[in-house]
Amino acid sequence: MSRNFKCEACRKASETLHMRDLDGKWVCAHCIPERELNACKGLRERLGLTTPRAQQRRKAA
């Protein structure tokens, strides 16, 4: 049995999906809206996503 699932938003294959609060769709970590990531403390770190500040620092370097 395959361990990859398709994200309902972007249709990319992902090993894990998460239910989006906005509309109840199963999506990959990159398709979760920013406000939902900010509302749940520690969620961004658990999913391995970088913070917006870290992204800006990388672009500036």
Say if residue 2's pLDDT is above 90.
no
| Per-residue model confidence as pLDDT tens digits over 11-59 | 999 999 999 998 999 999 999 999 999 898 888 989 888 776 666 666 6
Transcribe 1-52 into DSSP letters.
----EE-TTT--EES--EE-TTT--EE-GGGS-HHHHHHSTTHHHHHTPPPH
Give me the residue spans of the domains in the chain: 5-60
pTM: 0.69
Query: What pLDDT score does 18 carry?
Result: 93
Could you give the CA distance from residue 6 to residue 28 in angstroms, rounded to a whole number?
8
